[in-house]
Chains A and B, each alone.
Chain A
């Protein structure tokens, strides 16, 4: 558990779908984390190699695009930044659940809202975007 007087714990949320990425990142910010939003594995590598802030965990979509795929990225992180916890998730419900677990382990005692509502919010946004495209 982080002390309130310490710098916030930092996460990377990596997902090529901007609506999923935005919603997860916002949820985790409500949990007290500082969150980097990465669209590709290249962004994740830049964030970790830059070293400006200490990254505590990476929550990544299993289909993340970039130079490394998600599984290669997990190996790269374990080799180069073994202190960073890596969580891969393959669908909206799984990734929201994983975010909920990170929230439980994070700076705040309570979740701001249930991860299921994060997943529902993401699905509503995706549906709205699809309707606009029709």
Chain B
């Protein structure tokens, strides 16, 4: 079994690249989406996704919270981490975790490892739509 796959949904190009590149360096497989619409398209393509990290405010029809709701309706056990500069943790339901911006890659990696394990662990469950 390969490393766990993380879907990173972030409209800020350089932030998305930095996040994805850092998570790949750690050892995860990473799929990148530039907004919620793209994120949902990836989910609906049937690719295995073990965890989603999403921004909240993004252009397009599907924002980060709507993407979270749709993912949870398709795969309730698949963890979602929402990241926002202006949302409150209490407003992040049904996401599993909330990360206030600005945050460090170490903070994000710690949350991911707690939710799906480190990339060298191969016993994680997989979640697909």
Contacts and interface: CB of A to CB of B under 8 A. Distances in A.
Q: Do A and B come from one complex?
A: yes
B46 A18 contact: no
Most buried by A among B13, B32, B33: B13
B31 interface: yes
Given A22-B32, A37-B32, A129 B17 contact: no
A125 B42 CA distance: 9
Interface in B1-46: 13-14, 16-17, 20-21, 24, 31-35, 38, 41-42, 44-46
B47 interface: yes
Interface residues of B, number: 20
Nearest to A44: B13
Contact of B47 (A39, A50, A125): A125
A47 B13 contact: yes
A40 B45 CA distance: 21
Nearest to A36: B17
Contacts, number: 53
B118 to A, nearest CB: 20
A128 interface: yes
B58 to A, nearest CB: 11
B44 A22 contact: no
Nearest to B38: A18
Given A22-B31, A39-B34, A39-B38, A132 B13 contact: no
Nearest to A126: B45
Contacts of B45: 19, 125-126, 128-129, 132
B33 A18 contact: yes
Most buried by B among A25, A37, A128: A37
Nearest to A50: B14
28 contacts: A18-B32, A18-B34, A19-B42, A19-B45, A22-B31, A22-B32, A25-B32, A34-B21, A36-B17, A37-B20, A39-B13, A39-B34, A39-B38, A43-B13, A43-B34, A46-B13, A46-B14, A125-B45, A125-B46, A125-B47, A126-B45, A128-B44, A128-B46, A129-B41, A129-B44, A132-B46, A132-B129, A133-B44
Given A18-B34, A37-B34, 5 more contacts: A19-B45, A22-B31, A125-B46, A129-B46, A132-B129
